[in-house]
Amino acid sequence: MDERTRQASQLMLRFAERTGLGFEHPPRRYLWTDAFAVCNFLALDRATGDSSYRELALELVERVHHTLGRHRPDDARRGWISGLSEPEGEAHPTRGGLRIGKPLPERAPGEPLDDRLEWDRDGQYFHYLTRWMHALDRMARSTGRATFSAWACELAEAAQRAFTYQPHPGGRKRMYWKMSIDLTRPLVPSMGQHDPLDGFVTSLQLDATARALGSSSRPRLAEASADFGSMIEPGRLATSDPLGLGGLLVDLYRIEQLLAGGGLEGLAGLRDALLAASLLGLRRYAEGPDLRLPASHRLAFRELGLAIGLAGVLAQARGCEDLARFASLGTEIESFWLAPAHREVDSWREHEDINDVMLATSLVPNGFLRVT
């Protein structure tokens, strides 16, 4: 295998051992990190022809569903968070959403919000759910198994139903940022800047995969797409946050792939809006001080999100010439975090799982970036 694949393999196998995947270590599941990890294992399977990576991806999907699809061990509630019976829950593990995997229990009803503490409390994040939908969609495409596609669509339907709401009759719909584990109450009522965009693009992607696989026993996502699409404000998508900016670039590449598949010409306007927002964000980020700070003052996984998005820019065939001028930022970020000394600082070690996995995604990005 080439050097980049070898480095990604080392990172992913260490992650698997640390988090109890294929090894006798205590299991540790976290939805965002695990979603990227599934895509990385599929990329390594494709790059090396070694089926053990695909087996790790399959095992990880099962572990996530049986850990984050069920109530916490320290919760008085038991079983699937969907409330389904054991056999029904096995057949439909995503129908009630999936927990984040945070270390602390969710905030109890009536308990006041502590902004700092909330970051460590469990619950459900919409943008984590869309990442897991994407991971299941990649599993469906990679294996040809319609079951993964159905699970992704069931998760999309559950998320649309729980996270979207209408503030008043006739008013424009909005979204909650964080919901309770059982999806019955909002924990953080504000709306994520890119959540409607992620929901819209992901719903279109899942429908495209279900059609390609001939899957009929799954929810249709036309209503979800319409809901999410109605909330997108093209003029407010720009951000200079590296993780958010990377997400914009990933969505741009996903739209490019969906457009190439035909039948979705209406996406061209959104694609142009994403190009403009991404270019503005990249200019602002390049002018900022972040990349000149020492490793101890930087958050690797946020920067690596941008590097992954920039890999998508380089993979696009047309229309991204202005964005491609910033591709060196991705190379700079990746090279910085590949340096062993920069991975010895506390800011890396405190987030070692997510940092390792997203560095691996940057090295072998096609497993995550591909849609069709």
Claim: this prediction has a pTM higher than 0.95: yes
Would residue 174 count as lying in a domain?
A: yes
Contacts of 28 (CB under 8 A, 6+ apart): 18, 19, 20, 353
HSE at residue 269, side-chain half, CA atoms within 13 A, is: 6
State the pLDDT at residue 218: 77
Would residue 14 count as lying in a domain?
A: no
Rg (C-alpha) for the chain, rounded Å, is: 20
| Number of structural domains found in the chain | 1
Q: For the packed helices 146-163 and 126-143, what is the interaxial angle rounded to 10 degrees?
A: 160
Q: What is the DSSP string of 31-95?
A: HHHHHHHHHHHHHHHHHH--HHHHHHHHHHHHHHHHHHTB--TTSS--SBTT---HHHHHH-TTT
Phi and psi (nearest 5°) for 244?
A: -65, -40
Would residue 188 count as lying in a domain?
A: yes
What is the span of the domain harbouring residue 199? 96-107+120-231
Would residue 112 count as lying in a domain?
A: no
Would residue 129 count as lying in a domain?
A: yes
Would residue 298 count as lying in a domain?
A: no
State the pLDDT at residue 318: 66
Would residue 239 count as lying in a domain?
A: no
Which residues of the chain are under the pLDDT cut of 70? Answer: 263, 317-318
Would residue 366 count as lying in a domain?
A: no
Q: What is the pLDDT of residues 24-48, one digit of tens each?
A: 778 899 999 999 999 999 999 999 9
State the pLDDT at residue 321: 85
Q: What is the DSSP string of 150-199?
A: HHHHHHHHHHHHHHEE-SSTTPPPEE-SEE-TTSSSEEE-SPPTTHHHHH
Q: What is the pLDDT of residues 107-153, one digit of tens each?
A: 999 999 999 999 999 999 999 999 999 999 999 999 999 999 999 99
